[in-house]
A and B are shown apart, each in its own frame.
Chain A
Amino acid sequence: MKVELFYSPGCSQCAVVREDLKATAERTVAGIEWRELSVLEDLDYAVELGVLSLPAIAVDGELLFSSLPTPHQLRDALIRRSTTRN
């Protein structure tokens, strides 16, 4: 499973919480791939996924959160997704 966090460079909100979210994702799904993408460097990809506001999180190429979730919300979404996949 691949989690992609789109952020705007210089976003102080992102910097504070993304470590928490990353740790949550890694605890929830073994071997999860975590990527952090600056929207300015990956603009086309962000637009392709439908990212319209920042920060945003996509899982396996599907936009799941258009604002930062709490670690609990992310954990629940990842669990639901891995259940669906299995």
Chain B
Amino acid sequence: MLKIGKLAALVDVSIDTLRYYEREGLIEPVDRSESGYRVYDKESARRIHFIKQAQHCGFTLAEIRELLVLRGREKACCGDVRSRAIEKKLQIEHKIRVMRAMSKALDQLIVECADEAQPVKECTIIAALERATVLMPAPGHES
């Protein structure tokens, strides 16, 4: 059995993060010590590794909560998890596209701003950003 400090050190996250996970319903202590401290077991550590790995893959905490439910549900199958992974990939690919478009727009602005000695009031980058349309990605259908 581990107190929160030991668990935090074991899984390499802060105590605040563990408390946050707990508030979000992602982990819960298995018991309380005689002095009232929360105590956790090795399954808690495995669960936190799972959460960290899923966050690294781009899943939000709400999505991770669903994955954890699937992980513990006997009737769930790998296909349920795979569908979520495919949707996450779609979302990431979509973000990559938007970021690429933004990067191109910045290239254009950087080229247009050839005179570095110009006063900032005449800066073409500032002017373009104030026009506010240059960096806006094409609207996607996200409903």
Interface residues of A (CB under 8 A from B): 8, 10-12, 39-40, 43-44, 46-54, 62-63, 66
Contact (A39, B91) CB under 8 Å given A50-B140, A66-B141: no
Establish whether residues B141 and A43, one from each chain, have CB atoms under 8 Å apart when the complex forms: no
B89 at the interface (CB under 8 A from A): yes
Interface residues of B in 81-98 (CB under 8 A from A): 82-83, 86-87, 89-91, 93-94, 97
A-chain residues with CB within 8 Å of residue B93 when the two chains form the complex: 43-44, 47
Shortest CB-to-CB span from A24 to chain B, Å, is 21
Establish whether residues A47 and B90, one from each chain, have CB atoms under 8 Å apart when the complex forms: yes
- Interface residues of A, dominant DSSP: loop
Q: Which of A12, A40, A53 contacts B79 (CB 8 A)?
A: A12
Establish whether residues B86 and A54, one from each chain, have CB atoms under 8 Å apart when the complex forms: yes
Shortest CB-to-CB span from B92 to chain A, Å, is 9
Q: Which of B86, B94, B142 contacts A8 (CB 8 A)?
A: B86
Establish whether residues A51 and B90, one from each chain, have CB atoms under 8 Å apart when the complex forms: yes
Complex CA distance for A61 and B27, rounded to whole angstroms: 43
Complex CA distance for A8 and B142, rounded to whole angstroms: 18
Complex CA distance for A12 and B83, rounded to whole angstroms: 11
Establish whether residues B90 and A46, one from each chain, have CB atoms under 8 Å apart when the complex forms: yes
Of the A-B pairs whose beta carbons lie under 8 Å apart in the complex, a sample of 8, sorted by A's number, is A8-B86, A40-B86, A43-B93, A52-B87, A52-B90, A53-B90, A66-B141, A66-B143
Establish whether residues A10 and B90, one from each chain, have CB atoms under 8 Å apart when the complex forms: no
User: Which residue of the partner chain A has the closest CB to B83?
Assistant: A8
Shortest CB-to-CB span from B98 to chain A, Å, is 10
